[in-house]
Amino acid sequence: MNRTRMQCVPHGAIRSTLIAIAALISAGSSFAAASGAASAPPPPGHAPAAAKKKAPAAPVKLVDINSASRKELKTLPGIGDAEADKVIAGRPYLSKAELVTKKVLPTGPYLSLKDRVVAMQKAGPPRKPQP
């Protein structure tokens, strides 16, 4: 008998190969499911720091750059005597961003204090109604 190589492989070897492949596939899906368990929520009492409630921050008193005294300006981060004098000399400001555009402060110090300042406008004389 002249058999080809394919005909000589016993059916048991093919079956065991297929079983081994199926086992690897199912083990891979079991491994993926097990790795998903690592992201399961932690047990009670071990809540992540982000989930813990923080006390609300105290409201920050805004400093008006158009009317604040030198002493008030120096309470701002990055503002010393020289910077406070520059702010006062550059008044009035239409917006707080003018601290940078008028080159009173560099961008870095401005970014650290921009949430703590405002540029209030003085009320001018009442306007006459147009006829």
> What average pLDDT is seen over the chain?
78
Coarse DSSP helix, strand, coil percentages of the chain, rounded to the nearest 5 percent: 45, 5, 50
Residue 32 has pLDDT above 90, yes or no: no
Question: Is this model's pTM higher than 0.75 or not?
Answer: no
All structural domains of the chain with their residue ranges: 63-118
Question: Regarding the domain with residue range 63-118, which homologous superfamily does it belong to in the CATH classification?
Answer: Photosystem II 12 kDa extrinsic protein (1.10.150.320)
Where is average pLDDT lowest: 9-13, 29-33, 110-114? 29-33
The rounded distance, in Å, linking the Cα atoms of 76 and 62 is 10
